[in-house]
Amino acid sequence: MLHRFANPNRFSRLAATMLPWVATGTVILFVVGLYFALFASPADYQQGESVRIMYVHVPAAWVALACYTFIALMSGVSLIWKHPLADIAARSAAPLGAGFTVIVLATGSLWGKPTWGTWWVWDARLTSVLVLLFLYLGHISLTHAFDNPARGAKAAAILALVGFVNIPIIKFSVDWWNTLHQPASLTRLDGPAIDPSMLTPLLLMGVAFSLYFVTMLLVRMRADLAASKARALRLRAAE
């Protein structure tokens, strides 16, 4: 399966087939999720209406972490097996992950002001997420830092693998250190500590954000492959 879609043309055909479905699913789930988040779910008894920021903040955080994990996985595949699409996948995913991380930091600040009384604290969770943004930006920069694209891809892949150590730090920072950030509410041994009226929109938005990531990843990868093909044709015509 690893090399089944190594052929760019085969991958492009598969992506073209998948795109209408995942794009449609993204739109539907965002509409339904936002309806539940904004209208069908109650305000929190402590946070009031500001709890609705959670329905964007938390799913964006999930996808930001998943995206970096995907990049690290693709980087490993690229370095070990030299898979031709792995570098393209990692390169296409990095700006998306950076965007999700910006959303996490921005919505976290909007939530923190009324809840903590400040826009920002050098909290373990917040600081490690900021480091995640720098890792994304470093990956993007290294990818374009060399005249030889292969060297840039290799340097970015190494950074992605080294930086992956930050993912468990983000995940467990609320357990390892004293932090203002609330602990995990979903992945508890005794079950989620969220009422179903709030859990439903949260999960709907989580799937919507995930499908959006898949949609944009396929779009960016197809565009990257098309640009590479166009460059190859221009070089061939110039010979």
* Model confidence at 3: pLDDT above 70: no
pLDDT in tens, 67-76: 999 999 999 9
Q: What is the pLDDT of residue 200?
A: 92
Q: What is the pLDDT of residue 51?
A: 87
Place of tokens 């500001």: 50
pLDDT in tens, 9-37: 888 889 999 999 999 999 999 999 999 99
Contacts of 88 (CB under 8 A, 6+ apart): 221, 224, 225
Give the integer Cα–Cα distance in Å for 64 and 210.
Answer: 10
List domains and CATH numbers for the chain. Answer: 20-238 (1.20.120)
* Percent of the chain whose predicted confidence (pLDDT) is above 90: 60
Tokens of 119: 């826009």
- Return the ∠ at Cα 134 (arms to 132 and 140), rounded to 5°: 105
The mean of the pLDDT values for the chain is: 88
